[in-house]
Structure 1
Amino acid sequence: MKTAIITGASTGIGKSIAKLFLDKGYNVVINSANASNLESTQKELGHADRLASVAGDISHASVGKQLVETAVSRFGKVDVVINNAGIFQPKPFLEVEEKDLDRFLEINLKGTFFNSQAAVRQMLQQGGGAIINIGTVLVDHAIDGFPATAPISSKGGVHALTRQLAAEFGRNNIRVNAIAPGIIRSPLQAKTGVADADSLAGLHLLNRIGETQDVAELALYLAESNFVTGEIINLDGGHVAGHRIS
């Protein structure tokens, strides 16, 4: 039985990933900065014998350590870490203040960095594992009219970190990949000011937006594949591949 740690798992993509991994028989440790949401999600997901939770802001390195310690103490090991916790908010470049950039770098990049560091220490002792980061297609395919330089810069760091970790620890049987979603139906859309996520379907060749289940299924594949590493996989309905002419 394998054990997975999933950050940002109280809602949206993270919650869907946690549900699928539980359904597939994994032990799961979920995290969220919102303790109340996390408690509700833990009750909703059930599987009390295979599910643990750690509330805390992932930008603090101590939270990553606590997640690994919880996984090891409850379930004996850490096979998979999914760095899903993150924030995203559009703001014109000339209006971005230092505090804005710091916030994205601390949660998106620093959180992923130090959570991965805690996991790698454990995986080296075990003889391997898998890390899956969540990036964005906007790193490689910018959109005029959607100014988000600060969060995209932090996610660009996540993409770079993914490949570097894959190179550094491949010989230790630690696989590191990233999923770069397009527009996914989740609570994040409302938080970024998008009232109708389906209105953005035209950005994708498939002319629809993605679902959180789509991300969960790719995360499961990456968790279980033993020969994929160093990849940034676009999960975007064709957003990066081409354009539609309406």
Structure 2
Amino acid sequence: MHNQQKVVVITGASQGIGAGLVKAFVDRNYRVVANSRSIKPSSYPDVTVVPGDIAERTVAERIIAEALSRFGRIDTLVNNAGIFVAKPFTAYTKEDYGNVLSVNLDGFYNITQLAIAEMEKQRSGHVINVTASLVDNAIDGVPSVLAALTKGGLNAATKSLAIEYARRGIRVNAVAPGIIKTPMHAPETHEALGGLHPVGRMGEISDIAEAAIYLDTAPFVTGEILHIDGGQSAGH
């Protein structure tokens, strides 16, 4: 195993944090299976792309099948796909609710269940869930109930799975970002969003990618919710 390139599956991999994760793992000689609804073919020879909505079980099955067919194993799964809808609680629609839960929870459930089943066969593996710092530290003026409901649930699931699989060679951790400088945030909002962090600035995509790499190379760490949030989790 140690002489083989490790294989990582990354969801939500087409842009922003997901694209940064793909590059970070490729730079460290991993083979990557990358998924998102809008993903384009990759120029990296060790990256296989599988387009599709991770909320659909058949898409998760295709991702796992492609990883095994192309690379023969799955060492790490990074559950990065997610939707954030910032609306007052009473303004959420039935469609908002369904969309957020389908990607954030169904997507996690589908791919993680299948990936862990393969990891059990090799008695090793690692799952990293990308959640959100704000589920533990609500911010006035940033409505986030559906994020709290889903990403907070993933934090709890991270610890539960870590204990369930600790003696089977499988680790489970989470990265909980603060507000990260991605294309979803217009440049004119950066100063205000940066001010929501005690350090006075937004995080960078590389901060999240480096946290994921750290967790993947830390064999004694499991059940950890690693806050990469410029101090938000410490207080305001």
Instruction: Indicate the TM-score class for this superposition, using the shorter chain for normalisation.
Output: over 0.9
Match for residue 214 of structure 2? 221
- Taking only the aligned residue pairs, the percentage that are identical comes to 44
- TM-score normalized by the length of structure 1: 0.91
Alpha-carbon shift at residue 188 of structure 1 (Å): 2.9
- The whole-number CA distance in structure 1 between the counterparts of 2:191 and 2:6 is 36
Answer yes or no: is the 8 Å Cα contact 1:16–1:212 preserved in 2: yes
Residue 168 of structure 1 aligns to a residue in which SS? helix
After superposition, give the CA deviation of every residue in 1:11-38 in whole Å (9 maximum; x if it has no partner): 000101100110110000101111xxx2
Candidates 150, 168, 173, aligned match of 2:169: 173
After superposition, give the CA deviation of every residue in 1:98-151 in whole Å (9 maximum; x if it has no partner): 222121111011111111101001000111100000100111100111112123
Alpha-carbon shift at residue 172 of structure 1 (Å): 0.7
- The whole-number CA distance in structure 1 between the counterparts of 2:140 and 2:23 is 35
- The whole-number CA distance in structure 1 between the counterparts of 2:108 and 2:165 is 16
- Where structure 1 has 5 or more consecutive residues not aligned to the other structure, the ranges are none
Candidates 145, 149, 154, aligned match of 2:145: 149
May I ask how many residue pairs the two structures share in their alignment?
A: 232
Match for residue 105 of structure 1? 101
Alpha-carbon shift at residue 152 of structure 1 (Å): 2.4
Candidates 181, 194, 202, aligned match of 1:209: 202
- TM-score normalized by the length of structure 2: 0.94
Alpha-carbon shift at residue 89 of structure 1 (Å): 1.4
Residues 81-120 of structure 1 correspond to what in structure 2 (within 5 A)? Answer: 81-120=77-116
Residue identity matched to 2:23: K
Match for residue 233 of structure 2? 240
Query: Does residue 1:15 correspond to 2:19, yes or no?
Result: yes
Query: Mean alpha-carbon deviation: is it higher for 25-34 or for 65-74?
Result: 65-74
Candidates 23, 32, 46, aligned match of 1:28: 32
Alpha carbons of structure 1 residues 58 and 4: separation in structure 2 relative to 1, 3 Å: same
- The whole-number CA distance in structure 2 between the counterparts of 1:63 and 1:239 is 35
Alpha-carbon shift at residue 87 of structure 1 (Å): 0.8
Answer yes or no: is the 8 Å Cα contact 1:180–1:235 preserved in 2: yes
Alpha-carbon shift at residue 199 of structure 1 (Å): 2.0
- The whole-number CA distance in structure 2 between the counterparts of 1:189 and 1:88 is 12
Candidates 223, 226, 232, aligned match of 1:230: 223
Answer yes or no: is the 8 Å Cα contact 2:135–2:148 preserved in 1: yes
Match for residue 65 of structure 1? 61
Match for residue 40 of structure 2? 39
- The whole-number CA distance in structure 2 between the counterparts of 1:198 and 1:77 is 43
Structure 1 residue runs of 4 or more that deviate by more than 4 Å after TM superposition: none
- The whole-number CA distance in structure 1 between the counterparts of 2:61 and 2:55 is 12
- The whole-number CA distance in structure 1 between the counterparts of 2:165 and 2:222 is 10
Residue 54 of structure 2 aligns to a residue in which SS? coil
Residue 233 of structure 2 aligns to a residue in which SS? coil
After superposition, give the CA deviation of every residue in 1:36-86 in whole Å (9 maximum; x if it has no partner): xx215x13xx2x1x1101001010122222111111111110000000011
- Where structure 2 has 5 or more consecutive residues not aligned to the other structure, the ranges are none
Residue identity matched to 2:181: R
Query: Mean alpha-carbon deviation: is it higher for 121-130 or for 94-103?
Result: 94-103
- The whole-number CA distance in structure 1 between the counterparts of 2:188 and 2:74 is 38
Residues 123-138 of structure 1 correspond to what in structure 2 (within 5 A)? Answer: 123-138=119-134
Residue 40 of structure 2 aligns to a residue in which SS? helix
Answer yes or no: is the 8 Å Cα contact 1:81–1:131 preserved in 2: yes
Match for residue 4 of structure 1? 8
After superposition, give the CA deviation of every residue in 1:142-195 in whole Å (9 maximum; x if it has no partner): 0111112123211111111111111111111110001100010012335xxx85
